[in-house]
Amino acid sequence: MRYNIIGEPLPVVICELDSNETMITESGAMSWMTPNMKMETTSGGGLGKMFGRMLSGESLFLNRYTAMGGKGQIAFASSFPGSIRVVSIEPGHEIVTQKSAFLASEATVELSTFFQKKLGAGLFGGEGFIMQKLSGRGIAFVEIDGYAVEYTLGAGQSMVVDTGYLAMMDATCSIEIVTVPGVKNALFGGEGIFNTIVRGPGKIVLQTMPASAVAGSIIPYIPASSK
C-alpha cells in the first residue's frame, strides 16, 4: 500500500492498493475510490468488539475495501480541519486514540476499546474515558483536530490535559480522569469539571482544536429556536 496526504488543513489521504490488498475503515469514512474496489461490511471481530465500538462512539460495523483484479485507489478525507497522522503499528508499539480519531488502516491492524480504569469518574469524563486501541501490525491513519503538539513523557512524568485535547498516546502511557479541585474552581473557573492526567512513559499527541470544544463555543450563538 502506498499513500499520499494532501490538502491540509482539510486533508485527505489517497491510498494506492495492489491487487487483493485490503484496508479497513469506520463506516462512512470513504471519500472516493476506483470502481474495482470491493466493499464488505463486517462486525470487525464479533459482538464483543461491536459493543466496545458502540461505547466509544464509533460505528458498530467496519468496512473492508479490497482492490479486485488489479491496482486500486481509495481516499479517506478528514472530517474536521486539522491533519492526518501516519502511525506504524507493530507488536510493542501500540497506540491509543481518542474516539473518532481512527480514519483507516491496513487490514492487519486490530481495533479494540481502551477503558480508563476508574469507572466512576470515567462515566462523566467525556472523551477521556473510552478510547480506541490500535494493535497488530501495519499502517494506520489518525485524524488530529487542529494543530498537533507532541510530548515525550518519562516514567513518573505526567501532563494535565483538558478533556478532549488528548488525541493520541502510546499504549505504555496511562490516563486517569480527575475532578477539578475546589467547588468554586469547578463551577466558575470556566475549564469544565474534569481533567485528564496522562502519565508516562511514552509519547502523547495533543490537539489544539477538538471538535467538541468548537461545538461548545458555537452553541451560545445559536438562536434558541434553532437548538
Mean pLDDT to the nearest integer, 85-112: 94
* HSE-CB for 158 with a 13 A CA cutoff: 12
Instruction: Cite the DSSP H helix spans in the chain.
Output: 47-55, 119-122, 183-188, 211-218
Residue 147 has pLDDT above 60, yes or no: yes
**Given CA atoms 16, 210, 94, 28 in this order, what sign does their dihedral have?**
negative
Pick the CATH number of 2-210 from 3.40.190.10, 3.90.1150.200, 3.60.160.10, 3.40.630.10: 3.60.160.10
* Residue ranges of domains in the chain: 2-210
The pLDDT of residue 121? 43
Is the peptide bond prior to 201 cis by the omega test (within 30 degrees of 0)?
Answer: yes
Which residue has cell 488543513?
9
Residue pLDDT, tens place only, 194-212: 788 999 999 999 999 988 7
Cell of 112: 479494540
The band of 226, judged by pLDDT with boundaries at 50, 70 and 90, is low
Q: What is the mean pLDDT of the chain?
A: 84
Question: How far, in Å, CA of 147 to CA of 144, rounded?
Answer: 7
